[in-house]
């Protein structure tokens, strides 16, 4: 891929964003915020943040009692 950034370019972009969009406190020491941005940008998928699925067959869960519209509450067309 020709449009891919080098690791150094990604780190510099994170630092630029920390300085440009950070609070006044962040701008005085932007490295910590830039590191947070960098770790978020370079993580691979949600991994540990994704909740475990407890369904045995991996099928989609279907509602047992789907909602119905009450009589007379549907919009009327004239």
Instruction: Give residue-wise pLDDT tens across range 16-45.
Output: 999 999 999 988 999 999 999 999 888 876
Q: Does residue 14 belong to any structural domain of this protein?
A: yes
Q: Does residue 16 belong to any structural domain of this protein?
A: yes
DSSP classification of residue 48? G
Q: Does residue 18 belong to any structural domain of this protein?
A: yes
Average pLDDT over residues 62-69: 65
> Around 37, how many Cα atoms within 13 Å sit in the side-chain half-sphere?
19
Q: Which two tokens stand for residue 4?
A: 């891919």
Q: Does residue 72 belong to any structural domain of this protein?
A: no
Q: Does residue 53 belong to any structural domain of this protein?
A: no
How many CB atoms within 10 Å of residue 30?
A: 19
| Domain tally, the chain | 1
Q: Does residue 71 belong to any structural domain of this protein?
A: no
Q: Which two tokens stand for residue 57?
A: 């067959």
Widest distance between CA atoms in the chain:
65
Average pLDDT over residues 69-75: 63
Q: Does residue 78 belong to any structural domain of this protein?
A: no
- Percentage of the chain beyond pLDDT 90 is 33
Length of the chain: 78
Average pLDDT over residues 10-16: 93
Residue 61 has pLDDT above 90, yes or no: no
Residue ranges making up the domain that contains 27:
7-45
Residue 70 has pLDDT above 80, yes or no: no
């Amino acid at each position: 891929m020709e449009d891919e950034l080098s690791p150094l370019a990604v780190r510099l972009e994170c630092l630029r964003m920390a300085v440009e969009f950070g609070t006044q406190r962040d701008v005085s020491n932007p490295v910590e915020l830039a590191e947070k941005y960098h770790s978020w940008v370079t993580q691979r998928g949600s991994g540990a943040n994704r909740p475990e699925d407890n369904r045995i067959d991996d099928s989609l869960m279907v509602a047992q009692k789907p909602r119905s519209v009450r009589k007379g509450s549907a919009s009327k067309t004239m």
